[in-house]
């Protein structure tokens, strides 16, 4: 709250930029909301707060404001929920107006990341189950096949965010009617949806145990559909499907039979996959059963250096996990069977034609492998302090409390030009396992 004057100056400077640069900055600023329990400021802080409110009210009331009107509505909704608009619009009015404006706005590819940012930051009204049910019903209208795919993508991203925050479950505790269930809608949509961006957002929706119990047929249909899509000819669809299957496995949604199919499909996929992005997603999966070291070892002989990199990362992660479990003898035996000792302490495949930035990781991998093969714990990573660290988000951006903070500008606005490769996309959101 102390930095409102700084953020207001940043918002005003953004108004002088081109739309492609202005919209992401305004959306990031609009994502700030007062912390829970913080009422309207008084004294010296009141003037800055009033100026902040006026700025967004002006954007909201500007005729034909388009995307900027949606950004302003998001900002005002956050402020209204905190009680900063005592004589202004109510949260219910702002939610209704936001829903009314979204269908009217034609989203460009350039604006889709901003649009997703807005919808994923819109808080659900879990205090009134029936009103939330009506809200969800209205948003589901934007997931139909005749709706612009950028809107379908954003709405499913919003639903996934609500599910991760347990908004839907909380809305039904101790109340009637039951909380809204989206699993049947997910099953119906998966029957026809083929846009890889939309499917990736749908992969983030992970039903809870109660929802799975309430709709067992829909749950099994969703699992079967993701299984089929993981064998699709489109590599980005396969990537989204594997993300979904891994999320369902971690959440404890899969039956014993489905887990067996998961393990078999995983082994087949890592042995034959030709897409780098899909292979990287597979690296992050821990399949049920025994780690398929022999298959990953064969991938170390691939001609493509990135395939070999993926294989090394998979083996590295497994070695570290097993070493942490006190199973060094097992690792030594497995390495012997995989041919490590026969190679005379040389790598199974030479580290050639690899990007220089990954060399330190491979050196560290060899240190771990050598130590484990000798029955010792790996030495500390002496080079870790010298490695580059991710660049921090600029300090001028607003700071929000963890659960509802806005996404950073840099991680949601990367677009692509015609003919370029799409960015790698394999988010694995945190899930709660249901025993």
> Which residue matches tokens 């990362």?
313
pLDDT at 163: 86
Higher pLDDT, 29 or 48: 29
Helices marked H in 141-195: 149-164, 167-170, 183-190
Q: What is the mean pLDDT of residues 54-60?
A: 91
The upper half-sphere exposure of residue 164, i.e. CA atoms within 13 Å in the direction of its Cβ, equals 21
Please compute, for residue 382, the number of CA atoms within 13 A of its CA located in the half-sphere on the CB side.
Answer: 3
With H, G, I as helix, E, B as strand and everything else as coil, classify residue 343: coil
- CA 22, CA 112: separation in Å to the nearest integer? 14
Look up the pTM and report it. Answer: 0.72
Q: Which of 57-61, 203-207, 415-419 has the lowest mean pLDDT?
A: 415-419
- CB-CB contact of 33 with 402 (8 Å): no
Indicate whether 421 pLDDT > 60.
no
pLDDT tens for each residue of 352-411: 344 555 556 666 666 766 666 666 666 766 655 554 443 333 333 333 333 333 333 333
Q: In this structure, are residues 412 and 113 in contact, taking their beta carbons and an 8 Å threshold?
A: yes
Q: What is the pLDDT of residues 169-185, one digit of tens each?
A: 665 444 445 556 899 99
- 8 Å CB contact between 272 and 246: no
pLDDT, averaged across the chain: 77
């Amino acid at each position: 709250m102390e930095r409102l004057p700084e953020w207001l100056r940043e918002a005003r400077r953004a108004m002088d930029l081109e739309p492609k640069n202005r919209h992401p900055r305004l959306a990031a600023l609009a994502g700030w909301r007062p912390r829970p329990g913080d009422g309207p400021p008084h004294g010296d802080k009141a003037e800055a707060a009033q100026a902040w409110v006026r700025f967004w009210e002006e954007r909201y009331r500007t005729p034909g404001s388009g995307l900027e009107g949606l950004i302003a509505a998001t900002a005002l909704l956050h402020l209204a929920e905190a009680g900063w608009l005592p004589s202004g619009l109510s949260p219910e009015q702002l939610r209704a107006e936001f829903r009314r404006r979204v269908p009217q706005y034609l989203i460009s590819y350039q604006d889709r990341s901003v649009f997703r940012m807005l919808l994923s930051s819109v808080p659900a009204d879990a205090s009134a189950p029936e009103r939330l049910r009506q809200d969800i019903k209205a948003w589901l209208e934007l997931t139909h096949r005749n709706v612009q795919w950028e809107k379908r993508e954003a709405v499913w991203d919003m639903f996934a965010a609500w599910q991760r925050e347990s908004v839907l479950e909380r809305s039904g505790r101790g109340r009637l009617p039951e909380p809204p269930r989206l699993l049947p809608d997910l099953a119906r949509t998966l029957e026809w949806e083929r846009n890889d961006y939309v499917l990736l957002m749908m992969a983030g929706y992970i039903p809870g145990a109660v929802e799975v119990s309430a709709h067992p047929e829909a749950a099994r249909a969703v699992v079967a559909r993701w299984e089929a899509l993981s064998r699709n000819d489109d590599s980005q669809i396969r990537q989204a499907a594997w993300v979904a299957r891994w999320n369902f496995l971690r959440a404890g949604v899969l039956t014993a039979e489905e887990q067996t199919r998961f393990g078999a499909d995983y082994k087949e996929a890592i042995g034959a996959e030709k897409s780098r992005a899909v292979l990287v997603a597979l690296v992050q999966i821990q399949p049920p059963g025994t780690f398929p070291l022999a298959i990953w070892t064969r991938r170390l002989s691939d001609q493509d250096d990135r395939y070999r990199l993926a294989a090394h990362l998979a083996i590295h992660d497994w070695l570290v996990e097993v070493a942490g479990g006190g199973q060094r003898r097992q690792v030594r035996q497995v390495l012997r069977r995989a041919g490590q000792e026969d190679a005379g302490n040389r790598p199974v495949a030479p580290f050639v034609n690899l990007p220089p930035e990954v060399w330190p990781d491979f050196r560290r991998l060899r240190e771990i492998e050598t130590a484990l093969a000798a029955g010792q714990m790996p030495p500390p990573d002496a080079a870790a302090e010298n490695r580059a660290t991710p660049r921090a988000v600029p300090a001028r951006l607003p700071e929000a409390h963890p659960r509802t903070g806005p996404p950073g500008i840099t991680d949601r606005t990367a677009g692509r030009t015609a003919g370029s490769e799409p960015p790698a996309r394999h988010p694995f959101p945190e899930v709660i396992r249901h025993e």
